[in-house]
């Protein structure tokens, strides 16, 4: 009964080429909901961050994340609808992050999405979190459409992806070990910075001397691959040596030198890939895309090479539901919706073309 109704609704939305989507994101430590029209226009949004809770433990505690999502998800959805001056009756379809992420956390968003889809007979669309991050660019840049090259840099991913069409991707390169965000977080911990490490380190680095410490740029065999775990070890060794000698650790200088090395690697490979694949444009996505130096250096390099560059505002780079609403729309326009067996996936492959 539900399936037939939802499928019929999905078909009519596809024919019309329009849909107002209620989206939910709960893959990690933010509970977010948004109402997005036609993949491009934000009608309403709300976000409840768990940063303060997890800061007490120095990182995300999965069980606490799941429980916090449980209490936040309905109020956040209600708030997004209020922000959009809408009710569930105005919604055409429900999109939700299905993975990758923390399974318990994902399940909360998925369960809420399923309940609403079932109650209202609406199509349910599971979204890949990274596809969401890429799609943040469709919200921020109304003129951007595929094909383009995207550097996705988050806590779990460092991917250079060719976006061939909406929902069709080719992976050019990726990190062989730690993701860029993970490296930022681990190095932040090494120099005693509080959680969340990446943004804190980024801020501190603004006051530091980026030539105070010399770190070797990570090398990889793959032309477009990345590696950050060796760099993290270099920082660890410097910190250990200094503390063994009882010397002061200049945290701002360490942060600035580390940040510069990571950013140079990201920018160099992205520009190389853009030139070699003759990418019509380059976009940046993911939490690390809010890094001040990465934005600046990539802007400078792209301008120097005459490459068109798209960078979303910081609030659209870190986790949010607006990006899921955009990706959900393009999924709905291209493929059959999911059914109520949609499940959370801790790791999940992108649809590659
Ligand atoms: O995309 P995101 O919000 O969540 C994931 O999908 O992982 O990214 C979170 C990651 C964390 O590792 C965080 O430390 C990092 O992005 N991050 C930053 C900055 N803001 C967030 N890293 C460096 N500089 C920043 N300004
Ligand atoms: Zn993310």
CB 81 within 8 A of CB 325: no
Atom number in ligand 1 closest to CA 197: 14
pLDDT for residue 83? 98
Best residue among 291, 318, 319, 323 to mutate for probing ligand 1, ranked by most atoms within 8 Å of CB: 318
Q: Is 188 in the pocket of ligand 1 (CB under 6 A)?
A: no
CA distance 43 to 207: 38
Q: Is 32 in the pocket of ligand 1 (CB under 6 A)?
A: no
Mean pLDDT for the stretch of residues 233-249: 95
Residue 15 burial (CB count, 10 A):
8
Q: Is 39 in the pocket of ligand 1 (CB under 6 A)?
A: no
- Residue 156 C-alpha to ligand 1 middle, in angstroms? 9
Residue 97 pLDDT level (bands cut at 50, 70, 90): very high
Looking at every residue in the chain, the average pLDDT score rounds to 97
Mean pLDDT for the stretch of residues 163-186: 96
- CA proximity to 150, closest of 185, 140, 90, 12: 140
- Residue 4 C-alpha to ligand 1 middle, in angstroms? 40
On the question of pLDDT at 352 being above 90, the answer is no
Give just the sign of the alpha carbon dihedral 290, 291, 292, 294: negative
Q: What is the pLDDT of residues 249-267, one digit of tens each?
A: 999 999 999 999 999 999 9
Atom number in ligand 1 closest to CA 292: 26
- Residue 334 C-alpha to ligand 1 middle, in angstroms? 30
Q: Which residue has the higher pLDDT, 219 or 23?
A: 23
Mean pLDDT for the stretch of residues 209-214: 97
On the question of pLDDT at 104 being above 80, the answer is yes
Residue 349 pLDDT level (bands cut at 50, 70, 90): confident
List b or e across 260-297, with b for residues whose CB sees 16 or more CB atoms inside 10 angstroms.
bbbbbbbbebbbebbeeeebebbbbbbbbbbbebbbeb
Give the gyration radius of the chain's Cα atoms: 21
pLDDT for residue 218? 85
CA distance 243 to 232: 17
Q: What is the pLDDT of residues 171-181, one digit of tens each?
A: 999 999 999 99
Nearest-5° Cα angle at 320, 136 to 279: 20
Residue 296 pLDDT level (bands cut at 50, 70, 90): very high
Percent of the chain with pLDDT over 70: 99
pLDDT for residue 350? 85
Cα 165 to the center of its chain, rounded Å: 19
On the question of pLDDT at 351 being above 80, the answer is no
Residue 200 pLDDT level (bands cut at 50, 70, 90): very high
Pairing outcome for strands 168-174 and 30-37: unpaired
Mean pLDDT for the stretch of residues 70-92: 98
Percent of the chain with pLDDT over 90: 96
pLDDT for residue 353? 59
Residue with CA nearest ligand 1 atom 23: 198
Q: Is 166 in the pocket of ligand 1 (CB under 6 A)?
A: no
CA distance 218 to 260: 12
Mean pLDDT for the stretch of residues 340-346: 96
347 has which bridge partners? none
On the question of pLDDT at 244 being above 80, the answer is yes
């Amino acid at each position: 009964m539900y399936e037939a109704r939802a499928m019929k609704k999905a078909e009519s939305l596809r024919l019309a080429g329009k849909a107002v989507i209620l989206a939910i994101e709960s893959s990690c430590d933010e509970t977010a909901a948004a109402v997005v029209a036609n993949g491009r226009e934000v009608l309403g949004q709300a976000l409840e961050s768990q940063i303060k809770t997890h800061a007490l433990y120095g990182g995300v505690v999965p069980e606490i994340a799941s429980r916090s999502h449980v209490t936040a998800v309905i109020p956040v959805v209600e708030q997004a609808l209020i922000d959009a001056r809408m009710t569930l009756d105005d919604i055409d379809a429900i999109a939700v992050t299905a993975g990758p992420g923390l399974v318990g956390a994902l399940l909360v968003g998925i369960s809420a999405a399923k309940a609403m889809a079932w109650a209202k007979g609406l199509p349910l669309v599971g979204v890949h979190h990274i596809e969401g991050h890429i799609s943040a660019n469709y919200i921020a840049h109304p003129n951007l459409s595929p094909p383009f090259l995207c550097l996705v840099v988050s806590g779990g991913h460092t991917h250079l992806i060719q976006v061939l069409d909406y929902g069709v991707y080719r992976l050019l390169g990726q990190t062989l070990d730690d993701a860029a965000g993970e490296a930022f977080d681990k190095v932040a911990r090494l120099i005693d910075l509080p959680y969340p490490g990446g943004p804190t380190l980024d801020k501190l680095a603004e006051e530091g001397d980026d030539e105070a410490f010399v770190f070797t740029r990570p090398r990889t065999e793959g032309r477009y691959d990345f590696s950050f775990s060796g760099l993290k070890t270099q920082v660890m060794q410097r910190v250990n040596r200094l503390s063994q000698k009882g010397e002061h650790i200049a945290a701002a200088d360490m942060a600035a030198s580390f940040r510069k090395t990571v950013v140079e690697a990201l920018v160099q490979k992205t520009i190389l890939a853009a030139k070699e694949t003759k990418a019509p444009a380059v976009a940046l996505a993911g939490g690390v895309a809010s890094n001040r130096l990465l934005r600046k250096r990539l802007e400078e390099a792209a301008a120097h090479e005459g490459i068109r560059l798209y960078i979303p505002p910081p609030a659209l780079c870190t986790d949010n539901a607006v990006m899921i609403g955009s990706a959900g729309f393009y999924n709905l326009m291209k493929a059959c919706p999911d059914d109520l067996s949609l499940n959370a996936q801790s790791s999940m492959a992108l649809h590659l073309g």
